[in-house]
Amino acid sequence: MQRAEIPLIITLGTLSSLGVGLLGPVYPIFVVNRFSASIVDVGLLAAVFSLTAAIFKTPAGRLVDLYGKEKIFFAGVMAGAVCSLSYVFAFDLMQLYIIEFFFGVAYGLQSPARLLLMVDISEKGKRGLFFGIFESAYDIAGAVAALLSVAIVSTLGFEPLFFICSGCQATTGFFVLKSRNTSH
């Protein structure tokens, strides 16, 4: 692994984690407050997201083989960015279930592509170190995201948080495309 790749690793880990991590701590509060939903709905929404992502990861892996990891990753993060923005416009619990379904598809597209991007960027014999750095950056950003999300929602409300999440996701996609273009 070259020193020049370390900022790329940290940036990808940080932006990926912020894009989704900002939602995690406050999402149940958003669901219960905005939609007068039950805790059962919160659990079902999480299940819809997770099961959809799990189902779509295998076909997404095949799409990566056919069209390339950068294109599929970009499609996934951009779809995720749209889903984050969609929360602003959701005023019905059924709409939220639909958003979670599409968010699961978006995450399912991202996962296999992100893993292959990581393998390709890493140097054989140093992949463990590479993944360790990425995962550390991801987890640190997740911890910071938990604190930031509470501060953002308590001072500005949920809508700005959704815009920030969307921006982080879109920036991740553009960053990957830019790094690909500069490496070829």
> 77 by DSSP, 3-state: which?
helix
In the prediction, which pLDDT does 4 show?
62
CA torsion sign, 122 to 119 to 181 to 110? Answer: negative
| Residuewise pLDDT in 10s, the chain (184 residues) | 455 666 766 777 677 778 778 998 999 999 999 999 999 999 999 999 999 999 999 999 999 999 999 899 999 999 999 999 999 999 999 999 999 999 999 999 999 998 888 888 778 888 888 888 888 888 888 899 999 999 999 999 999 999 999 998 898 888 877 776 665 5
What tokens appear for 84 in the block?
């984050």
Residue spans per domain, the chain: 5-179
- Residue 124 is given by DSSP the state T
Separation between Cα atoms, residue 146 and residue 51, nearest integer Å:
24
Q: Where are the alpha helices (DSSP H) in 68-157?
A: 69-89, 93-121, 127-156
CA torsion sign, 64 to 65 to 68 to 69? Answer: positive
Helix/strand/coil percentages in the chain, nearest 5: 90, 0, 10
Per the CATH hierarchy, to which homologous superfamily does domain 5-179 belong? MFS general substrate transporter like domains (1.20.1250.20)
